[in-house]
A and B are shown apart, each in its own frame.
Chain A
Amino acid sequence: MASPSAVLQSEWTKIRSVRSTVWTLVLAFVVTVGLGAVICLVFNNQWSSMSDSDKATFDPTNTSFFGTSLGQLALIVFGVLVIATEYSTGMIRTSLAAVPQRGSFYAAKVAVAGLLALVVGMATSFITFFLGQALLGSHKAHIGDPHVFRAVFGAGLYMTLLVLFCVGAAAMLRSPMLGLGILMPFFFLVSPILRAVPKVKNVAKYFPDQAGQKIMQVVQTSDNHTPYGPWGGILIMAVWVAAALAGGFLVLKNRDA
């Protein structure tokens, strides 16, 4: 067996030495933090014109995470490119000739992408929260309030799991074009649209993004009611991630490079 630390080191060199890693992660950070800040500013300024019921169900924590809906697109690109460019460039043959134990290769790639996503995700999540709350003025939530820390930590977890899901899916699809062409519209269009369709939305609640985003909510309303709780939601997403990663591994293991 190849030494796990050697393969991890190699994958770290790979991931840090291409530009797409930097720009996708920076974009995810900027868009999530920036959009969240803008929305918080808008809410703070419009507070007096909001209805009483809206004020009652106002969720300052979740509001600051508004930017994840757009920022996550950059994370999808990151997750897809990490593995799919191995195929599109032909690098996969060079990589597997160096590390023929495909399980080690895959595990190292997933671990490096996941760890990087976790660090960036948590940083994005906490900075988004604190900046957003600062801009919400008197309507802000405190990190020590009930469930708030869970939501902020959960947002970072959500971003990490999303990246891992995309890594697994892209390993199955083996092409950046296919990976981006399927995952971007799914998370940006299909899932949000289905969430609004009666009956279908009961199924859509179990999609990885919708189940996972539950953890960012602090205030429960009749609108966002789900049969699972915040941790249940993240668990559902984790099952999706496990399935995608397992599928990706089977494809890598069994198909000719």
Chain B
Amino acid sequence: MLASLAPMIELQGLTKRYGDKTAVDHLTFTVRPGVVTGFLGPNGAGKSTTMRMLLGLDAPTSGDVRIDGRHYSQLSEPLKYIGALLDAKDVHGGRTAYNHLLCLAQSNRIPRHRVDEVLETVGLTAVARKRSKGFSLGMGQRLGIAAALLGDPEILMFDEPVNGLDPEGIHWIRNLMKGLAAQGRTVFVSSHLMSEMALTAEHLIVIGRGRLLADTSMADFIEKNSRSFVRMRSPQPERLKDVLAAAGHTVVTTSDGAFEIQDADAADLGTLAAQHQVVLHELSPQRASLEEAFMQLTAESVEYHAGGSLPPGQGGAGGPDVIAQGVPAGQAPGQQPPAQEWGAQWRNPGSGKGR
């Protein structure tokens, strides 16, 4: 029974290659029990492939993934251990919601009344006898979640559960995941949206192009990545720079001639400039968003760049490029490749997967 108290997912050098394309590249991490772990990566990073290998649907090229020390195929009634929603469309649309859940329940000897219970939980009782091909995206997603909850499992795994949902549906799933974690269950959820993860996940695993980029607590990630700085512009840049340097601030000059000062207070800097009678045209506190930090972390590993002429988000209000200069590369937590590699090579044509 000890195992069921602390269900754990362990990946050990998990690798999946399709021909010469590596979808998942030596992933090693542990999904810890009792918390929501966010599995983050850009589209095509290998999140779904990893999850499919976890469920024994795809065979790894090498490496290993175990649940409580066992392979998925060694679980005799797996739905009682781990409930997964990979793709809500993975149902036979000609079957009613009730029968879909019933056939899954029967295969794992889950009592029939659980079917009614999970239908109630996800709010599909009214359409239980309707064939699922007529379901909307949100209803399909609810049916998939009902299937995941069927065996009352300790581990739940959702692949991009909020994709394509309306705000009400997103809100519902968010609360559901929090509720499941609050009951002490292990929740492993993938997303390509950092902002979504920041709201639900306690722990964060970031991958890009199949490789592990970060394995950190959400608090650490926010602490390290959501840095604040002050942006200043002046018609007397040389004088301002001297003043700031004399006061002990590190000044970074951006491409448009503005200055950025890390970890400084805008009011202090304004006072300082006034004392030295430097004219300011801009004095603004800035905060890099988590989304930007995430994009920076995965910039090199993004599979498909739009257009390919700008780095993601550049041309906005000095956001991402600020981080590129302002955040020392080595500060991103747990990144695998050498620091100068990522961000620097994102434009490298060879960095795609060669499709």
Contact = CB atoms under 8 A, between A and B. Distances in A.
* A is bound by B: yes
Interface of A: 1-3, 6-7, 9-11, 13-14, 17-20, 85-86, 89-102, 256-257
Majority SS of interface residues in chain B? loop
Given A1-B76, A14-B103, A91 B92 contact: yes
B91 A90 contact: yes
Interface stretch (B56-64, B186-194, B220-228): B56-64
Given A94-B147, A97-B84, A100-B73, A13 B103 contact: yes
Nearest to B71: A100
B75 interface: yes
B107 A7 contact: yes
A254 to B, nearest CB: 8
Contacts of A97: 55-57, 78-79, 84, 86
Given A17-B99, A256-B58, A257-B57, A93 B107 contact: no
Interface of B: 52, 55-59, 72-73, 75-79, 84, 86-87, 89-96, 99, 102-104, 106-109, 147
Contacts of A86: 92
Nearest to A254: B59
B93 A89 contact: yes
A18 B79 CA distance: 23
A6 B76 CA distance: 11
A94 B101 CA distance: 11
Given A2-B107, A6-B106, A14-B103, A20 B73 contact: no
22 contacts: A2-B77, A3-B77, A6-B107, A9-B107, A10-B107, A13-B102, A14-B95, A17-B96, A17-B102, A89-B91, A91-B90, A91-B91, A91-B92, A94-B90, A94-B91, A94-B147, A97-B56, A97-B78, A98-B108, A100-B72, A256-B59, A257-B58
B124 to A, nearest CB: 16
Given A90-B91, A93-B87, A6 B57 contact: no
A207 B107 CA distance: 37
Given A2-B77, A17-B96, A89-B90, A100 B55 contact: yes
Contacts of A101: 73
B46 to A, nearest CB: 14
Q: Max chain A CB contacts within 10 Å: which of B56, B92, B104?
A: B92
Contacts of B86: 93, 97
A86 B77 CA distance: 20
Given A96-B56, A96-B57, A257-B57, A90 B89 contact: yes
A93 B73 contact: no
Nearest to A94: B90
B164 to A, nearest CB: 16
B108 A13 contact: no
Q: Max chain A CB contacts within 10 Å: which of B72, B77, B89, B107?
A: B107
Q: Max chain B CB contacts within 10 Å: which of A7, A14, A85, A98?
A: A98
B3 to A, nearest CB: 18
A101 B104 CA distance: 14
Contact of A100 (B56, B91, B94): B56
B64 to A, nearest CB: 15
